[in-house]
Amino acid sequence: MSPLNFGTHNHPLYFQEDGDDINFILDIELGGARPRRNRKAQNIPTYPPRSADQIVIDDNDDDHVAFMFQPWAEAEEELEREVIDLSDEDDQTTFVQTQRRRSVMRNGPLLVPAVYLTCAAWFEHVLKPRMTVEVNGFGSRRYLCITDIIRSSSGTFLRGVQYVHIVDMQGMLPWSPDTHDTDICAIYHVDLDDPRPMNVQAAVEVPLDAVKNVCKLKVSNALWPVHAASDDTLVCRWKFVQYFPTGRVRERHLESYSLYQGLEAAILRNDESDADPEYTISAETLRTEWAEHPRIPGGSYIPPNSSDVLFSGNASPRQRIPGQKYTFFDAFCGAGGASRGAMRAGLHLKYAVDAWDRACDSYQTNFRNTQLFRMKIDEWIRQSVAGADFHCDVLHLSPPCQVFSPAHTINSREKDEANFAALFACEEVLRRVKPRVFTLEQTFGLLHRRWRPVFHRLLASFSGCGYSVRWKYVFLPQWGLPARRKRLIMIGAAAGEILPGFPAATHGDGDEARRAGLRPLVTVRQALKKLDGSRRQDPLHRPGEMKRKNMPRWDTDGILARCVTTSGGQNYHYSGQRCFTHREFAILQGFPMYHEFVGSFRIRQIGNAFPPCTALVLFQHIQKCLLEADGMQVDDGERILAEAMAVEVGDDEDSSMYAVGDYEDEEDLYLQQILEQSRHEYSDSTATRQSLGRQPDTQAQVAAGVLDATQKDDDDWRLMLQPDVAYSRSMRAREFQA
């Protein structure tokens, strides 16, 4: 039997399978040093020594690209293009590339003469499946829960799920030596192209003589300290999962510690199916313990004067009452990018908080019925009285990220400390709001190893509240943005809730993307087409007043090459003769035409925003997941109508793609009919309210079944079609399809 190369926390261990050259890594670190002495034998290219600020990019089977981070002096949009991109096509066709790669199956059928054993003797112990052993040879404590015992010509091996002590989770889980000394976490490396359960495909093998001790393990889904061990019994409440598009990508990534562009991982609480029967707590009990109030299936916003009977308990699936919605809290709301996407997805905007007055002015202009707190997040935390009900179903967090961005070039201790304070204030916001699901959007720079302790501390603040968390490095044009932008997106779910996955790509590039049913990437030409020859007098679109330039023309049949930043990102009009207008910048950042920006620093307001078109995709997906978790009917008619009313971009070639097209004839006529009907309903509703001595309430009108077509005097270009309509959605969608 070939000897094992035992390692330490900084130099991971490699297990060698029978007759196979594939190495499996127990170390969970996403980056770091790797032993180099076996590279030639494995035919792996040898790279020069890496500095502390260098990342090896590995995305192609044949090419290896190394990029040296400058000391944070490059613009973020350039880093996004150069650090992660291997070519312009790589970002746009990641899913296509990974499909072409050869999959590497782990833990396949045994080959002769290997056989399965029912047990194996180890000193005075008889090892059997479902027993847990401590593995010898690490600088840290590692464990294996046995699923199979295999004997081959190389010896006897134990196969099973690997565990690490949470002190070795690099700060991703809260830990203290007095209270978590026996807590461990399961580790899984999952191939998305492998349909087998993750405990099967992600199992690892160790030789029998690597066993150090036999342990007791109890698997629980309860919140700490329930079921905490008073002796040496191990307790597992968490699992760490790293997702790879294919086995080939996983193999090469783990061999080189590269940061590939499809990075996705999760810290997951055990659910009821994972826990041992005697250590299982019901999901409803977990939800009540955390949120301290019952969950309302279908959404906690109930329109005024609605029936007390929310739904029929006998119906399956149940239907929401008209106007019922999931509520939304937008922390660090800025000018309202995330809120615009949430409203278009059909969520009820309840609260928002931000400290920048100029952005707050724009937010209040667009969302007059949302309660906006104009203050720093720490002030809101202090002023939010204990016991006050700020609960919302969905919480979005977009804390300031300049200090973590590769574009951060000017050090300011005061501002940097404020960024850190805002980031770690997210935990207290979470404890005040107690959402069922939260999302967080941040710069991709937070994933850099320089900020890894900060990122892991952020994860620990969420997991310490009992939230499962999933994060991914997302190329936003795959969700419909017409400009290059990559962000770190996180999704979290409270204890007892189901953690949503990430939305699938809606847009792609190339023939394979079209065969997969994806829409073409939204181009600059398509996005700006609505402004061509416009007779609308938009104060944010005055090309003649823009600063003149003398730059080369560039092709608009693609996405914007540079990210839209707070200064515009060195972008200029495709004619080469002027700068973009504020409206053009807003459109390229995913804002609809009717979104208003007031006051000064408008480009900064736009560049700071979470693009609404991508927020729409994210929150539509989360709403669908919540409806499914609640056992509510998910009506495709609502999606079709919302998409039809949220059309933002022109596309002459394919008018059937509702999310990319100016209103076509049939669609325009259909929406005009809705608009006229809504105006009558709006007038009737307003008259009724006034006769009762009540002031009109836009949110209540919409929730009661009225399409709020806000139209200001002399500003017909600001016609707003809100897609969160509750009135006869299914009927209208069916009529539209017919």
Question: In this predicted model, what pLDDT tens digit does every residue of 342-358 receive, in sequence order?
Answer: 999 999 999 999 999 99
Q: With cut-offs at 50, 70 and 90, classify the pLDDT of residue 38.
A: very low
| Cβ-proximal residues to 171 (8 Å cutoff; 6+ apart), any chain | 453, 456, 457, 459, 460
Q: With cut-offs at 50, 70 and 90, classify the pLDDT of residue 617.
A: very high
Q: Is the pLDDT of residue 689 over 70?
A: no
Q: With cut-offs at 50, 70 and 90, classify the pLDDT of residue 614.
A: very high
Q: Where are the domains of the chain?
A: 14-61+101-277, 665-737
Q: Is the pLDDT of residue 203 over 50?
A: yes
Mean per-residue pLDDT, 211-240: 89
Q: Which of 453-457, 459-463, 699-703 has the lowest mean pLDDT?
A: 699-703
Give CA–CA dist 172/463, Å, rounded. Answer: 8
Q: Is the pLDDT of residue 266 over 50?
A: yes
Catalytic site residue from 185, 401, 465, 579: 401
Q: With cut-offs at 50, 70 and 90, classify the pLDDT of residue 533.
A: low
Give CA–CA dist 689/711, Å, rounded. Answer: 20
Q: Is the pLDDT of residue 701 over 50?
A: no
Contact 41, 63 (CB under 8 A): no
DSSP line for 259-286: --TT-EEEEEE--TTTS-GGG---HHHH
| Residue in 160, 129, 128, 157 with CA at minimum distance from that of residue 143 | 160
Q: With cut-offs at 50, 70 and 90, classify the pLDDT of residue 391.
A: very high
Q: With cut-offs at 50, 70 and 90, classify the pLDDT of residue 538.
A: confident
- State the pLDDT at residue 696: 39
HSE (CB half, 13 Å, CA atoms) of 255? 23
Q: Is the pLDDT of residue 213 over 50?
A: yes
Q: With cut-offs at 50, 70 and 90, classify the pLDDT of residue 137.
A: low
Fold assignment, 14-61+101-277: SH3 type barrels. (2.30.30)
Give CA–CA dist 41/459, Å, rounded. Answer: 38
Contact 56, 75 (CB under 8 A): no
Q: With cut-offs at 50, 70 and 90, classify the pLDDT of residue 252.
A: confident
| Cβ-proximal residues to 624 (8 Å cutoff; 6+ apart), any chain | 634
Q: With cut-offs at 50, 70 and 90, classify the pLDDT of residue 227.
A: confident
Q: With cut-offs at 50, 70 and 90, classify the pLDDT of residue 404.
A: low
Q: Which of 7-11, 171-175, 417-421 has the lowest mean pLDDT?
A: 7-11
Q: Is the pLDDT of residue 654 over 60?
A: no
Tokens describing residue 71: 């000391």
User: Who wins on pLDDT, 377 or 734?
Assistant: 377
- State the pLDDT at residue 249: 83
Q: Is the pLDDT of residue 575 over 60?
A: yes
Mean per-residue pLDDT, 152-171: 91
- State the pLDDT at residue 314: 52
Q: With cut-offs at 50, 70 and 90, classify the pLDDT of residue 675.
A: very low
Q: With cut-offs at 50, 70 and 90, classify the pLDDT of residue 63.
A: very low
User: Who wins on pLDDT, 109 or 658?
Assistant: 109
Q: With cut-offs at 50, 70 and 90, classify the pLDDT of residue 295.
A: confident
Angle at CA 462, nearest 5°, toward 31 and 373?
120
Asked if 563 is an active-site residue, the reply is: no
- State the pLDDT at residue 490: 96
Q: Is the pLDDT of residue 448 over 60?
A: yes
Q: With cut-offs at 50, 70 and 90, classify the pLDDT of residue 413.
A: low
Tokens describing residue 48: 């020069």
Q: With cut-offs at 50, 70 and 90, classify the pLDDT of residue 98.
A: very low
Q: Is the pLDDT of residue 26 over 90?
A: no
Q: With cut-offs at 50, 70 and 90, classify the pLDDT of residue 138.
A: low
Q: With cut-offs at 50, 70 and 90, classify the pLDDT of residue 369.
A: very high
Q: Is the pLDDT of residue 641 over 70?
A: no
Q: Is the pLDDT of residue 56 over 50?
A: no
- State the pLDDT at residue 237: 93
Q: Which of 489-503, 571-585, 675-689 has the lowest mean pLDDT?
A: 675-689
Contact 422, 400 (CB under 8 A): yes
- State the pLDDT at residue 74: 36
- State the pLDDT at residue 169: 86
Q: Is the pLDDT of residue 220 over 60?
A: yes
- State the pLDDT at residue 636: 55
Q: Which residue has the tokens 């995709």?
A: 617
Give CA–CA dist 399/377, Å, rounded. Answer: 9
Task: Report how far Cα 239 is from the mean position of its chain's Cα atoms.
Answer: 18
- State the pLDDT at residue 591: 95
Cβ atoms < 10 Å from Cβ of 229: 16
Mean of pLDDT over the chain? 73
Q: Is the pLDDT of residue 691 over 80?
A: no
- State the pLDDT at residue 247: 85
Mean per-residue pLDDT, 552-572: 86
Q: Which of 59-68, 86-95, 423-432, 519-528 has the lowest mean pLDDT?
A: 59-68
Tokens describing residue 257: 């510690």
| Cβ-proximal residues to 364 (8 Å cutoff; 6+ apart), any chain | 372
